[in-house]
Amino acid sequence: MSEFITLSLFASTLHLSVPVILPMLGGLLCERSGVVNIGLEGMMLSGAFGAVVFSYLTGNPWLGLGGAVLSGLISGGMLAIMSVLLRGDQVISSTAINLIGAGLTAALVPIIWGIDGTTPSVPKIPTLPLPLLPQLPVIGPLLGELSMIDVLAFALVFIVWWVLMRTDVGLRLRACGESAAAADAAGIAVTRVRIAAVILSGVLAALGGAYLSIVTLDLFQASMTQGRGFLALAAMVFGKWRVGPAFLVCLGFGLADAVALRAQIFTDELPHDLLFALPYLLALVALATFVGRASGPADVGKPFRRA
């Protein structure tokens, strides 16, 4: 057991939770503003693809990260137009984002590279170790395996919580999700707030996809997100639309992924496919049992029409 539970296991948990944490934060901001967003998976795929394309064309992975942000702005903007400006059904609109993200990226790979499925390797963002942290007692070896990208991702958890719960901007956003009519009567520009939240959700989800394609790996592969966008949604619901609990659920999914990967080394008795399905099984159990009475913001999913 001591060989199984090591610092590497906990470091892997942190690494594997990042591409779930980022879209979870985006989805939470979006739904707290009153807009349903089940399109996180498609946004992640768009971000992963955009990061690889820009990294390939420029040879600079940091510009690839900019490509992911641009992809997130586009996918978030599309959802904002369909669900906020045109007042379309929010579930159908965000489902369309998933279909576009999966279909368009898979179709563009052979057009750009002339091959199907997986792109060639591209420059990736180096995961440089943090200075000084390895010298800290106890947690030093663990933190020494993290990169600046990981630390920035975890810092975003605190930043989003602080903005959402401790600032006037967050208060306005939450007011739009709880009662758009009351927020409008108080002078809040509900449409602008919702558009900004939806676009920001696209950017955060796209960064989660970019983490997979140019930080963890150095390529894009069709459907490479493997349902992490839906895991982010499950974490958000299981956390009852609160940043802290949802973050802990993301860590739980990361731990399940890390255990599944490590278990392959220590046992051949369990099917590998069953081990890889562990995070998704946990999500199904959580959604089917513990969150039956969970309810989101009062006005989530309701188009805003100014009286």
The 10s digit of each residue's pLDDT in 25-48 is: 999 999 999 999 999 999 999 999
The predicted pLDDT at position 1 comes to 45
Percentage helix, strand, coil for the chain under 3-state DSSP, each rounded to 5? 70, 0, 30
- How many CB atoms within 10 Å of residue 211? 28
- The pair of three-digit structure tokens given for residue 265, joined into one six-digit string: 């080394």
Cα separation, 93 vs 156, in Å, equals: 27
Task: Classify residue 91 as exposed, middle or buried by CB count within 10 Å of its CB (0-12, 13-18, 19+).
Answer: middle
- How many CB atoms within 10 Å of residue 269? 6
pLDDT-based confidence at 2, cuts 50/70/90? very low
Give me the domains of the chain, ranges plus CATH numbers. 7-124+150-289 (1.10.3470)
- The residues near 124 (Cβ < 8 Å, ≥ 6 apart) are 55, 61, 214, 215, 217, 218
CB-hemisphere CA count at 13 Å for 48?
Answer: 36
The predicted pLDDT at position 276 comes to 66
Cα separation, 257 vs 64, in Å, equals: 26
* 190 touches 184 (CB < 8 A): yes
What are the pLDDT digits (tens) for 229-281? 999 998 998 888 999 999 999 998 888 888 777 766 655 565 656 666 767 77
Task: Classify residue 217 as exposed, middle or buried by CB count within 10 Å of its CB (0-12, 13-18, 19+).
Answer: middle
| Section 2-11 average pLDDT | 64
- End-to-end C-alpha distance for the chain, whole angstroms: 63
Cα separation, 87 vs 303, in Å, equals: 5
pTM of the model: 0.91
What are the pLDDT digits (tens) for 192-234? 999 999 999 999 999 999 999 999 899 999 889 988 999 999 8
Output the CA torsion sign for 129, 225, 232, 65: positive
